[in-house]
Amino acid sequence: MAMAEGANAGLEARKIPRADCEIAGKIIDGAREIDCVIENLSVTGCGIRTEKPLEISGAFSLSIPQSDTRLYSVIVWAEGCKYGLKFLHPKSQQEIELVE
């Protein structure tokens, strides 16, 4: 899978603007749970940061405990410990507003 490099790579292709936020999340990849912070969010994807680089090659769940939400996601770009995620099953604007 080829990924666009750099934090701005996702901005060029983004059709739906993302709202800035600071929400605690968890990446669930099989039995592994990795803490992350969601930095921006839209109905189709989000930007996250982690403490350590991720080693994930396929789809995973992004859990948002504060709203009991799970988003099936893939990484579309990475720069250091920051990642752009695309949701495989996009949520409605109303569901995203409940998370924010």
Q: What is the mean pLDDT of the chain?
A: 83
State the pTM of this model: 0.78
Give me the pLDDT at residue 14, please: 52
Q: Where are the beta strands (DSSP E) in 8-95?
A: 19-29, 32-41, 45-49, 60-64, 69-79, 82-87
Q: Give the model confidence (pLDDT) of 74-97 as tens digits.
A: 999 999 999 999 999 877 776 666
Q: Give the model confidence (pLDDT) of 54-71 as tens digits.
A: 998 899 999 998 888 899
What number is the average pLDDT over the span 10-36? 81
